[in-house]
Amino acid sequence: MLKSHVLVIMMLIVSSSAYGQPKFIKKLFSNQADTTRSSSFLPLPVLSYAQETGVEFGAVSLYSFYTDRKDTQTRASRLTGVATFTTKSQSNFQLKSDIWSPGNMFHYTSELRYRNFPFNFYGIGNNTLESSEDRITQKLFRVSAGAEKKLGKITFTGLNIGYDNYRFIDKEAGGTYSTNPFLIDRDGGQILFFGLSQIIDNRNSNTYTTKGTYLKLNYSYAPSFFGGDNFDGGIFKGDLRSFRSLSKKLVLGVNSIYQTIGNGNTPFYLLPQLGNDEMMRGYYSGRYRDENLLALQAELRLRLNPRFGFVGFAGTGTVYGHGDFTIADLKPSIGGGFRYFFDIEKGLSVRMDYALGEKRQGEERQKGFYLSLGESF
């Protein structure tokens, strides 16, 4: 679904003695990689408008570095920050880290997030209608952390812990959200989960992969700490990625994901959702949600020169209840995009993608435009 507002992200190239303007501009547009493996910092201003939020403004930034600059096998680490505000007193803050220790012996991730923002709710299942759209305000507080240790040449085993607190407000009673009889914990709730991961990873890069395979299996369990309608059960996620260089400039990537949540008292906000800026582009995230998610995509990446590239992608996916999967329910996703590599050596990019989804009878074709940092997978 095309967003109801226009999002503008422009590169922040300003006169600053701290950055040194000539050197900064030269680094942004030169086709020469930084062989010193130095750190890089990219700040991007954000400006958007929607009727429900008013004007949204803020910034997103990415700081990338190596924990060991001398070891060329050590992967790039990243710190990402987002801060946006709206003229209707809404806000979104996010801090994420992705750290690789020297020699890639340990991998650490973390996220701290607060979000006070509206979203569209359509109901549960793979066949929800656009006419069922109900605007809901969500307040989300999230904190999570994970650590993985290298136990073999290409294997990692890890632990993760996370806490989410959700609150929802339906300002217009009588819509899909307030009348749907299948919603559990519609006012929100909290969840504390503990997880175990097993990973196989022989990619040649974790930022712009041209060959190798990545497989991550994660099982997380949420004990009944909070009682009531709060979730008590397990969540399983599988993520498989494989890459092959077809030529010096052309790479084929394939990605499949599977998510499932245990039977029982499952709040609607924990159900897997189809569509985002990484998988099943073209679908509004949350338009379709259910107990299981299965999706597959392929992406052809053409890197014309060190700075610029193009991609074409196609995928299919669906959400479904336990025991309800059918091939006929798979939905299409197809599109293309442009890449600007602001850090050649690390393969870090700003990506712009446009995608088309299904066209349901009586509705416009679902579609989306995305501006993001880093590759989709």
The structure tokens 């422009």 sit at 10
- CB-based contact 166:140 (threshold 8 Å): yes
What per-residue confidence (pLDDT) applies to 136?
Answer: 93
Among the listed residues 40, 45, 46, the one whose alpha carbon sits nearest the alpha carbon of residue 28: 40
Q: How far, in Å, CA of 120 to CA of 218, rounded? A: 29
Among the listed residues 361, 279, 268, 354, the one whose alpha carbon sits nearest the alpha carbon of residue 318: 279
What per-residue confidence (pLDDT) applies to 283?
Answer: 96
The structure tokens 């052309």 sit at 250
What per-residue confidence (pLDDT) applies to 112?
Answer: 98
Beta strands (DSSP E) in the chain are 7-9, 40-50, 54-65, 77-86, 91-100, 106-121, 134-150, 155-169, 190-201, 212-222, 233-245, 250-261, 292-303, 308-320, 331-343, 348-356, 367-373
CATH 1.10.20.140, applies to 7-373: no
Q: pTM of the full predicted structure?
A: 0.88
The structure tokens 């569509």 sit at 275
What per-residue confidence (pLDDT) applies to 49?
Answer: 74
What per-residue confidence (pLDDT) applies to 34?
Answer: 65
The structure tokens 């299904």 sit at 358
Q: What is the pLDDT along the chain (377 residues), one digit of tens a residue?
A: 434 334 444 444 333 334 445 555 565 566 766 667 899 999 988 887 777 788 899 999 999 999 999 999 999 999 999 999 999 889 999 999 999 999 999 999 999 999 999 999 999 999 999 999 999 999 999 999 999 999 999 999 999 999 999 999 997 888 899 998 888 889 999 999 999 999 999 999 999 999 999 999 999 999 988 887 788 899 999 999 999 999 999 999 999 999 999 876 799 999 999 999 999 999 999 999 999 999 999 999 999 999 999 999 999 999 999 989 999 999 999 999 999 999 999 999 999 999 999 999 999 999 999 988 999 99
- What string of DSSP letters covers 266-280? --GGGS-B---SSSS
- CB-based contact 333:365 (threshold 8 Å): no
- CB-based contact 197:158 (threshold 8 Å): yes
The structure tokens 């504390």 sit at 192
What per-residue confidence (pLDDT) applies to 15?
Answer: 35
